[in-house]
Amino acid sequence: MKNKFYVTTAIDYVNAEPHIGHAYQKIVADVLARWHRLKGEEVFFVTGTDEHGKKVQRAADKAGTPVKKFVDEISEKFKEAWKSLNIIPDRFIRTTDLDHEQIVKKFIEKCNKAGDIYLGEYEGYYCTDCEAYYTEREAPNFICPIHNKKLEKLREASYFFRLSKYSKFLLDLYKKSPEFILPRAKRNEIISRVKEGLQDLSISRTNFDWGIEFPLDKSHVVYVWFDALVNYYSATRKKGKERFWPANLHLLGKDNTWFHCVYWPAMLKSAEIKLPLTTFNHGFLTFNGQKISKSLGNAISPKILVEKYGADSVRYFCLRHFPFGEDGDFSEKALIARHNNELANKLGNLVSRVAGLIEKNGTTKCENKLIKKLDAKKIDRLIEDFKFDKALNEIFAFIDICNEYVQSKKIWETKDKKSLYELKESILKISELLLPFIPSSAEKISKQFSAKKIEKEDILFRKI
């Protein structure tokens, strides 16, 4: 479907509460959804929670809470966190949703019909936090490379998906559609690993029961990753949303690259379902050089950050301070500096001064030569290329030009109504471009400068 944009994020495990590392990806997805709506496209933005698996069952047991009650409570906290950050998905999907569970079962039946599922036995080293098996090469000394914990040796009967059958298909996909895996470094890494050969994937479990009943054998539950990946497709099976599949973009952390770029396309091919167009595998936010993670004990709550600094400042910092795709070290000190120097001094000062001058002097409509110094097409290209920091840099470079225009024209002395008209229209364009990034502030600016009588209001961004 032309003029549609379907963006998804990884869905988050509900073994613990949300932290700012989870929020980073969701902020980016929300920005992209809002940007494509500005361009007049029909948008579907999906995020949610991953609620099955051994890790979740263990967390519920540790909390002394029935597992369904536990996942209900944690899932609600994720919803609240995203609401506090002005992140507005079109669907918040839960893997315990009945429609999702039914579609997972149908998906497995399709793969089975294709001859791609068989019963066997699996023995290997497992990380419950990752819900994944590792080889000794992937995890030297059998220590999880993500969580730095000793792997657990497991042996169990399992149904397998014939992943090995799809090696050629995957390599052809990566060659014909290089945009399927971004950035390029991740694509090269995946190609190298797939060329080494693929092992069939264990897709059922018997050593716990918190999962979707395996449709071919009721004594098994579906492996959590096989279940979770299907959410992107199942979210579009609601009436009226079918047109959005295939997804334009899956956003995910780099630790999920293998699952999304190898397992997922092979699964879709087996089930005869169209493939998504792009997976973007970004880096982690870190805190003091470590991945932010509840299990590592260094999580930062997004709600607490919003209470301290405001949603727009947190959103702005995450998008402006780190080149998207790379790792970034989160720093409250750096957030405060960005807020004060850019949002308060530059944008806030421009809005306040110009509103005050217009309130006193009014405007006279004229040709807006000032706005010609803004390259909106370049900003669009940068956003399409996931260069959010550079796009914001372009916008703020124009804000600098507008501030310099006030100074050079000495409008407080000349009371030039034509210059004030140029500034008013330029500020309205700035608010439009900033709407996906800092929606609350942009809406406030737009409302203020669209009014018939522009009045100076309270300070837009107070210094922290």
Beta-strand ranges (E) seen in 51-170 are: 91-94, 117-127, 132-134, 152-161
For residue 148, is pLDDT > 90? no
| Catalytic-residue membership of 250 | no
Q: Find out whether 309 and 464 touch, Cβ atoms under 8 Å.
A: yes
pLDDT of residue 141: 85
Q: How far apart are the C-alpha atoms of 189 and 14, rounded to whole Å?
A: 29
Position 457 confidence tier, pLDDT thresholds 50, 70, 90: confident
Q: What is the pLDDT of residue 378?
A: 98
Q: Among this protein's residues, is 111 annotated catalytic?
A: no
> What are the residue boundaries of the structural domains of the chain, listed by start?
4-296, 332-450
How does DSSP classify residue 243? G
What's the whole-number average pLDDT of the chain?
94
Tokens of 43: 């948008």
Q: How many CB atoms lie within 10 A of CB 399?
A: 21
Pair 308, 279: CB distance under 8 Å: no
> Which of 26, 100, 144, 250 is the catalytic position?
144
Q: Which CATH architecture has domain 4-296?
A: 3-Layer(aba) Sandwich (3.40)
> Which pLDDT belongs to residue 134?
84
- The yes-or-no answer on residue 147 being catalytic is yes
Set 282, 291, 321, 339: catalytic member? 291
Is residue 79 among the annotated active site residues?
Answer: no
Residue from 4, 79, 241, 294 carrying the catalytic annotation: 294
The one catalytic residue among 79, 106, 147, 444:
147
Of the options 1.10.287.990, 1.10.730.10, 3.60.40.10, 3.30.420.40, the CATH number for the domain spanning 332-450: 1.10.730.10
pLDDT reading at 1 higher than 70 = no
Tell me, yes or no, if 22 is annotated catalytic.
yes
Alpha-carbon torsion 147, 150, 153, 156, what sign? negative
In tens, the pLDDT along 104-131 reads 999 999 999 999 999 999 887 888 778 7
Pairing of strands 42-50, 91-94: parallel
130 is catalytic: yes
> According to the model, what pLDDT value does residue 285 have?
82
Q: How far apart are CA 440 and CA 233, in angstroms?
A: 31
402 is catalytic: no
The distance in angstroms from the start CA to the end CA of the chain is 46
Residue 289 has pLDDT above 70, yes or no: no
Q: What percent of the chain has pLDDT over 90?
A: 81
Q: Evaluate if residue 203 carries a pLDDT over 70.
A: yes
Query: Of these residues, 26, 54, 55, 127, which one is catalytic?
Result: 127
Query: CATH topology of 4-296 equal to that of 332-450?
Result: no
Cα separation, 111 vs 103, whole angstroms: 12
The pLDDT tens digits of the residues spanning 325-374 come to 998 888 889 999 999 999 999 999 999 999 999 999 999 999 999 999 99
- Determine which one of 130, 261, 318, 402 is catalytic: 130
- Annotation marks residue 83 as catalytic: no
